Structure 1
């Protein structure tokens, strides 16, 4: 039996955040069903009759549904998991027919995009590990087993930037040149910018042709670090030490290269294992690396995915030093300016996210580096610093975020209604809330989430029934009405998943003890207001006036934390109800009581119209992470 406690504090005036949270669950339940009716076929595939003319596109199909099983894990409808699985199956058949997959996996493409494609799979594995184990292990073996041609254990590299299930797919493009559109060149420039400044006829630029194929089409690149998410997923499913050892070896090799480069992770390794071996000694300039097209936006995300994966399975937090020096380097080169004065290549992202503050002087950091030095200045993306701090809970990583806040010219307490591609971007006001000076954040972020769902529903109404040309295959992900960032922050006490291939973080997760499934039970709302290991604070509210709701609280996304003790609120005196002829009630007397837990799970029984505050003392990463649940034979009984 699991350690248990029963809530006894009466729920008299439901907090606004609890009502808003359950209303968001209800709206999302309507929204995903509507999307399925309007944009998908009976077998789960997307309504699309065209072709895919380049290697790009797989991610755009899977990304559409990436957060649907995540919503199920949070407490979405019972049938949402089956619908998410149906869409993965349908899209996989669809992409196989389009020639993009081999044996259900990407034939060969970069990991900036593969990481995006795989988020749907990772959440499905988290929600139904038994059903998805075989596939996930088969995919991970493409990299762990050198026989598949992707991994070179002698040099500890992945052999090429475009990798996957088809070892015959070489280089970075089919045909004579990389498919780089003029508008993309205007935003991001060209690869191998240092090679030549001469004008070339369209389609004959060597930077997009033979030189790109020779210098960038083989060897390892930093974004391949995102393969760590796929291998971590296999470890969580199986506990097989081979996956732990591979992560330690591969991520460890990149950590050594970073140390040899003054701490900054390089972005390219030649087939012989030398950094810069094909780029005349440059540590920068690799495919989806520091110079082109996105810099930190791609390198930083891949590095933090790898660092946290290796640290999680080995227990060695020194792997996080794969990220910190580069992060501190770009912060060190920061400049205060208005966004309108910056040379940012991500204009469309920041104009929405900053709104009126595009004119406010604030800290900008460089995302890219080439022979000219650092350039492409942007406000700091907070996903990497937040993920790092959430993992370590170290004063050093928290202080970095506080310094970034102090250097910011805009108010971190502001909540703006937007939904970025990553379905993230509200880390700043969330951090201010956890710091204790943004008390209205829960209700404001839930209102912003409602706005984005309703905006997406309006967009769906406008575009449903239209034929989708290949150039507009982003329509589906731009219309996906599921939003989860607010629920992840408020109920799990975590930042949104790192979009380019990460696995979800969580200080706590929940299971419905009656339905024996992951997620909050119906009518139950949760709010995490503190995530310090010695005092992780969780409020649970049962809004149902008639039904009891038992909840199992899990420490960590993968039961990797250990709940030592919990202090919980109690109301032992029923006199607050008063006498029969009283016209009101008195204030309930609330005290607290301790419970020893000594494991990753705690059962909380919530009678009708009750609430409880839990203050959990956690030992972080004291257990081997896995997808085990409290209902497994080894996990205990509810």
Structure 2
């Protein structure tokens, strides 16, 4: 861990607030409501040590993620400017849930014994956010390094450095676990919830459709094949493990961690290159693509064929590409995520049955309020022995991330081309909430491109409505889950951070299946030495492009002075070359004899910065609008705190 060196340059806000923008009032209101909401959730559903109140059972290998997920964005809220005691509370819940899962036998040495990385990624979002929120916490630093070495150190058995593979789909603190567990010793047609996803393997003789799994003998045959072929070797979803190792690297820049990320991601990039650029989803124990699947590049666990296809593979590819970009500063790895998108978009069709054409379409049409009969561009999510299938709308979060990371014309063009047959107006803020804290990319991107000026107010109103609904649900069900429903609490978590993340940091929320949180800007309280906006301060990123960021800051407090540390990049990786800001004339507030409330005259002032940070001094009821010219990825990223460096006093002898 290393903090930006030296005292950052300072800028004084001199423009008094004449007309308080609605977005600023709503933003501060949202912080206030969230501060009450998380406390109510804690009092309603948690034990004194932070664990979730639960007297039910755990089944098979699944479920650890569902106990961490209700808290995953609590440290995110703290880092944005949530209450001081939220950090300690979030840490207590992490410790309580970890103890709870240890008692169930699902966690050993504070880490999951062994499960797939689709779910491990969901579990670890909470941990990564805690590390970023408080890099000075020695206990979490030790955990971060220890957890990462479960994969970077071959002695733990999870990684084969010769074949450059994670050796099994289920890995963790217990090393690689054989097969997929007892849940799928048989795979029967009686699992109605899995029917939309079809056959896990489509090449078994005599099993060609779902009803063929009704006979117990066929259910056992499918289960045996899954254990043998899906339960061994590497799978693309394991690329999410690169976040665990990158998170450790951000503390001390240990070459062990950077080398592992580059080598492991590099191995998958080589496999993609050998497959015409498209990432395969499986590698056998010998390091050969298709070794367990008749030479096919598809068929692996959480891969192209089953169960989710693009939804899983693209998430892992994007996470890995971002992590290589973090440790190297080079965006070349992003092709690992570009090619899958371009591959399915090239096979798109426009149809009027978006809600029923694919295995997961009903949820999209509900969230986007798209009626039957509306033309929508659909792409195939999955590929099996009969080619591409399972049509869904393009998941916008991935082309948005590519454009956000590069600001390249081609990446923007790919994104903009998707608007034509999207099936809905990109400028409209849809009233829904997703557990992944994402889904409102279209109106936000339209805002950043200057086409949707009302988005901040609309989105903040939505966020307040989301919290209100969750509070109502909590008050209607102030008890633990019925029927061992361990997804109960994540549907009630009242902390919402998607909109705040977009507006305050100028970035999408972290990818839900194990991505690290990035940002165009992050903030600290210079007077109190902690991350996040000071109390009473509102922030809005209005532009974020290849050359820089346009930012507005307001101090709504009528009496107190605030000082805000503005940092470019989530990890201080960007450099502010210069900043242009508005400076007020000296005649405000004018003569008291005047009846007018004058609009302060301003002029632009430019100053050289040459640092990842600057401090903005905000007197009471003052604002500043500034355009920062930024060089992206100019510095080595690092976990860094906003705690002032200790001063040393020399004693005279």
Task: Please give the TM-score of this superposition, normalised by the length of structure 2.
Answer: 0.94
Q: Determine the structure 2 residue equivalent to 1:588.
A: 600
State how far apart, in whole Å, the 2-side matches of 1:403 and 1:452 are.
30
Asked if 2 retains the 8 angstrom alpha-carbon contact of 1:369 and 1:375, the reply is yes
Q: CA deviation at 1:358?
A: 5.0
Q: Could you report, residue by residue, the CA deviation over 1:316-374 in whole angstroms, capped at 9, with x for unpaired residues?
A: 21111111111100111111112446422114421321114454212111111111211
* 1:277 aligns to 2:291 (yes or no): yes
Q: For 1:241-320, list aligned pairs within 5 A.
A: 241-320=255-334
Q: Determine the structure 1 residue equivalent to 2:30.
A: 24
Q: Determine the structure 1 residue equivalent to 2:639.
A: 627
Q: Determine the structure 2 residue equivalent to 1:119.
A: 125
Q: Could you report, residue by residue, the CA deviation over 1:585-610 in whole angstroms, capped at 9, with x for unpaired residues?
A: 32211111011110100000000000
State how far apart, in whole Å, the 1-side matches of 2:319 and 2:370 are.
32
Q: For 1:382-531, list aligned pairs within 5 A.
A: 382-470=396-484, 472-531=485-544
| Match 1:136 to one of 131, 144, 148 | 144
Asked if 1 retains the 8 angstrom alpha-carbon contact of 2:278 and 2:340, the reply is yes
| Match 1:560 to one of 561, 573, 595 | 573
Runs of 4+ deviating beyond 6 Å: none
State how far apart, in whole Å, the 1-side matches of 2:518 and 2:542 are.
16
Q: How many residues align?
A: 634
Asked if 2 retains the 8 angstrom alpha-carbon contact of 1:364 and 1:379, the reply is yes
State how far apart, in whole Å, the 2-side matches of 1:339 and 1:204 are.
33
* 1:166 aligns to 2:180 (yes or no): no
Q: Residue 209 of structure 1: SS of its match in structure 2?
A: helix
Q: CA deviation at 1:634?
A: 11
State how far apart, in whole Å, the 1-side matches of 2:303 and 2:647 are.
42
State how far apart, in whole Å, the 1-side matches of 2:422 and 2:576 are.
36
* 1:224 aligns to 2:277 (yes or no): no
Residue ranges of structure 1 left out of the alignment (5+ in a row): none
| Match 1:549 to one of 559, 562, 565 | 562
Q: Determine the structure 2 residue equivalent to 1:71.
A: 77
Q: For 1:196-215, list aligned pairs within 5 A.
A: 196-198=205-207, 199-200=212-213, 201-202=215-216, 204-206=218-220, 208-215=222-229
State how far apart, in whole Å, the 1-side matches of 2:236 and 2:176 are.
22
When the two chains are superposed, the root-mean-square deviation of aligned CA atoms in Å is 1.7
Q: Could you report, residue by residue, the CA deviation over 1:156-193 in whole angstroms, capped at 9, with x for unpaired residues?
A: 00000011111263111137716776223222112112
State how far apart, in whole Å, the 2-side matches of 1:117 and 1:560 are.
26
State how far apart, in whole Å, the 2-side matches of 1:443 and 1:566 are.
26
Quickly say closer, same or farther: Cα 1:358–1:505, change in 2 above 3 A: farther
Q: Determine the structure 2 residue equivalent to 1:538.
A: 551
Asked if 1 retains the 8 angstrom alpha-carbon contact of 2:568 and 2:612, the reply is yes
Q: Determine the structure 1 residue equivalent to 2:3.
A: none
Asked if 2 retains the 8 angstrom alpha-carbon contact of 1:229 and 1:502, the reply is yes
Asked if 2 retains the 8 angstrom alpha-carbon contact of 1:220 and 1:268, the reply is yes
| Match 2:196 to one of 187, 198, 222 | 187
Q: Residue 606 of structure 2: SS of its match in structure 1?
A: strand
| Match 2:395 to one of 378, 381, 385 | 381
Quickly say closer, same or farther: Cα 1:467–1:375, change in 2 above 3 A: closer
Q: Residue 64 of structure 1: SS of its match in structure 2?
A: helix
Residue ranges of structure 2 left out of the alignment (5+ in a row): 1-6, 649-653
Q: CA deviation at 1:579?
A: 1.7
| Match 2:618 to one of 606, 610, 633 | 606
Q: Determine the structure 1 residue equivalent to 2:98.
A: 92
Quickly say closer, same or farther: Cα 1:176–1:618, change in 2 above 3 A: closer
Instruction: Indicate the larger mover: 586-595 or 298-307.
Output: 586-595
Asked if 1 retains the 8 angstrom alpha-carbon contact of 2:186 and 2:224, the reply is no
Instruction: Indicate the larger mover: 315-324 or 539-548.
Output: 315-324
Q: Residue 168 of structure 2: SS of its match in structure 1?
A: coil
State how far apart, in whole Å, the 2-side matches of 1:494 and 1:92 are.
30
Q: Could you report, residue by residue, the CA deviation over 1:6-29 in whole angstroms, capped at 9, with x for unpaired residues?
A: 001110211000000000111111
Quickly say closer, same or farther: Cα 1:375–1:589, change in 2 above 3 A: same
| Match 1:156 to one of 156, 164, 179 | 164
Q: CA deviation at 1:207?
A: 5.5
Quickly say closer, same or farther: Cα 1:126–1:176, change in 2 above 3 A: closer
